[in-house]
Structure 1
Amino acid sequence: MRLFIIILLVVLAWLQYDFWDGKNGMNEYTAVKESVALQQAANTELQQRNQQMYAEIKDLHGGKEAVEERARNDLGLIKPGETFIRVLGDNN
């Protein structure tokens, strides 16, 4: 009977080791779970950035106003006959 109990304890210890540290064990499961959470956060951020880019592309395809705004802001262009005035704020 004593041998049977020892064998059962050895099997139980082996199963516990396999459960926690073996291939596809609990430690690996938690590491993969954390990795998936990080990847999902990165994907959400990239999806938001893509939506902003799609909206900007749609505006650029849609009309002249978006192209004109882009030229004024990024390139500093002005229309013929316009006067460019820059107002500087108080830097106290």
Structure 2
Amino acid sequence: MLTSPLTFAFLWLIAANVIAMLPSRDRHWRAAGVLIVIGIPILGWVTLTEGPVWGLVLLAGAASVLRWPLIHLFRKARRTPDAPAE
């Protein structure tokens, strides 16, 4: 039997996959924001109650579903600001 945190985590993963299959005008950015806001506390709850291994497994699953927000975040972080003109 699954514990409550893992049950909620798996329900979150199922909901994220169903949302990804639905058509969207804004390329799912609003839904991704909602999924991130809901998923971070679930990830913390799972890590706290089940341990870091399950936390990392859930983090990998969430990153595979929400890969485009992560790709954009890494691209934005990698950009260097322009040097000031002298």
**TM score, norm. by length of structure 1:** 0.30
- Larger Cα-atom Rg: 1
| TM-score, normalisation: structure 2 | 0.32
- Greater relative contact order (Cα 8 A, min sep 6): structure 1 or 2? 2
